[in-house]
Chains A and B, each alone.
Chain A
Amino acid sequence: MSKLFPKSANKLPLQIIILVFVLGGIATAATTYYATNKYTNVGYAPVQPVPFSHALHSGQLGIDCRYCHVGVDKGPTSTVPTAQTCMNCHNQVKADSPLLQVVRDSYASGDPVPWVKVHQAPDYVYFNHSVHIARGVSCVECHGQVDQMDVVHQAKPLSMGFCLDCHREPEKFVRDPKLVTQLDWKHPRGVEGQLEDGKKFVHDWNIKPPQSCSGCHR
C-alpha cells in the first residue's frame, strides 16, 4: 500500500491548533480594540451648520461655559444655546459675516439652528449634569479640553467603565465647584494635593456616586 499522507502531515494537527489560536487571538484583539467606545465614539466631530469655535469663544475670549450652556448647573441637560445667545454679541460683532447667516435666520424666524449632537448617552442611561457640576466634577473630565477645540469632538469614551472609574474613586477628580469651568486647572500641589483635597471634599459633602446598576439604569 502506498502512503496516503506524506510524512509532513504528522505536523498538521499541531499546525492547525496553532493557527486556530493565532486567529482567535487576532479576533479577540480586534474586538477589544475596535468594538468599544474608545474606537467607535472617541474622535467623532460632525460638521456643524455654523463653524463655531470653542477655542476662540472660550479659550481666547474667556467666556464661561455657562454663558452658553445655561442648563448645565441647573438641570440634567446641558442645553445648546439659542440663536439669541449668539446675537447678544453678533448683533454688533461681525454682524454681517456670511458664516453667521444661519444664526441670523434662526434668530429672525425662531426655528432652531440645526446643531449636530456630538456626545450621546444611550437612552437606557440616566445622566445628570447638574449633580456632577454641583459636586465639583469639571467638564474636562468628560469632554476633554473643549476650550482648545475649533471643532468639538468626543474626547472621552463615556462608556460604563469610564463612568465607574470615577464613581469608585471620586477623590481623584472632584475639585472646588467654583473651578469646574476652568478646564486647564490642575491642583497646584499635583496629584498628592488633589488626593488630599479630594478626600476632604468627599468626606465633607458626603459624596457617594452610585455604583449600583439602578443608579444609572433607572
Chain B
Amino acid sequence: MRYVYLTIFLIVVLGVSIMGFRGSISTRSPLEVFPDMDHQAKYKPQAESAFFADGRADRPRIPGTVAYARTSGGEADGSFLRADQAVFEGKDASGAWVKGFPTAVTIDPAQLLERGQDRYVIYCAPCHGGLGDGNGITKQYGMGATPTFHDERLRTLAEGEIFNVITHGKGNMLSYADKLPAEDRWAVIAYMRALQRAAHATPADVPPGHKSKLGIK
C-alpha cells in the first residue's frame, strides 16, 4: 500500500511540474477546456478573415459609394455627408478659413472647454505640452521642433485653419481626424485659445474675487 501512495505522490509531482502553476507567463495560446461556441461564425471588430484577400474582416468603403437619401424633419441636415463646410472643413461659403466658432457647434461653452481640456491632454499634450509651449514629453526623445502656440502668428490664426491642421495634419504632424471627431476638434481649439489667453494674461484679467488668493493687488 505504501508503494501505491508513493506512486500517486510521484504522479502528482510529475503532473504539477508539467502543468505548472496558475498565472505563470507563457507564450502558448490558452487552453480551451470546453470550446463550445467560443468561436462562432461571425466577425468581431478588427478581426482576421480567411475569406477576404487582404485578411481583414473590417471592410474599407468601396470606391464610388454614394450615400442614400436622408432627411431630418424636412430641414437640411448639416451633418449629413458632412455638408456643413464650416463645421467639417473650417471653411466658409467663399472658401476662406472660418474665424470664430461655427454656430452649428452647439455645446454648452462650459462643457466645451472642459471637453477640450480632456481631449487636449490625451491627444495633443504628448508633443505640444500641457501649456501649449511645444515642450511635450517627446521633445526629450528627439521629436523635431514643435511650435509654441503663444507666438503672434498662431494667436491670430483663423480657427478654421487650426481646424484644418488637426484634420489633415501639417508638416511632420499627421492627421488626428481618426482620433478627434469634428465636435471634439472645435472643443480642442477652444481650449487652445484658453491656453493662449492664459500665457498672455495680465493681473487685470484675474476676476476681483480671486485676486487675494493669488496675492495680486
Contacts and interface: CB of A to CB of B under 8 A. Distances in A.
- Do A and B actually bind? yes
Given A44-B30, A87-B174, A62 B12 contact: no
Contact of B26 (A23, A44, A84, A87): A44
Nearest to B54: A111
Contact of B1 (A15, A66, A123): A15
Contacts of B28: 44
Interface residues of B, number: 48
Q: Is the interface of A mostly helix, strand, loop or mixed?
A: loop
Contacts of B12: 26
A30 B12 CA distance: 9
Contacts of B8: 22-23, 26
A142 B8 CA distance: 38
A105 B70 CA distance: 39
A46 interface: yes
Interface string B121-142: 1110011000000000110011
B174 A91 contact: yes
A96 B25 CA distance: 31
Contacts of B118: 178
B122 A66 contact: yes
Given A70-B179, A91-B174, A124-B38, A40 B26 contact: no
A170 to B, nearest CB: 23
B178 interface: yes
Contacts of B31: 39-40
Contacts of A130: none
Contacts of A67: 122-123, 126, 179
B32 A40 contact: yes
Contacts of B4: 19
A15 B31 CA distance: 36
Contact of A30 (B15, B121, B137): B15
B19 A34 contact: yes
Interface string B1-12: 100110010001
Contact of B22 (A30, A33, A63, A92): A33
B47 to A, nearest CB: 9
A71 B44 CA distance: 14
Interface in A61-83: 61-64, 66-67, 70-71, 76-77, 79-80, 82
B12 to A, nearest CB: 6
A35 interface: yes
Contacts of B174: 84, 87-88, 91
20 contacts: A33-B22, A43-B23, A43-B25, A43-B26, A44-B29, A47-B27, A62-B126, A62-B137, A67-B123, A70-B178, A79-B46, A88-B173, A91-B174, A92-B143, A92-B172, A122-B37, A123-B37, A123-B40, A123-B42, A124-B40
Interface of A: 15, 19, 22-23, 26, 30, 33-35, 38-47, 61-64, 66-67, 70-71, 76-77, 79-80, 82, 84-85, 87-89, 91-94, 111-112, 120, 122-124, 153, 178
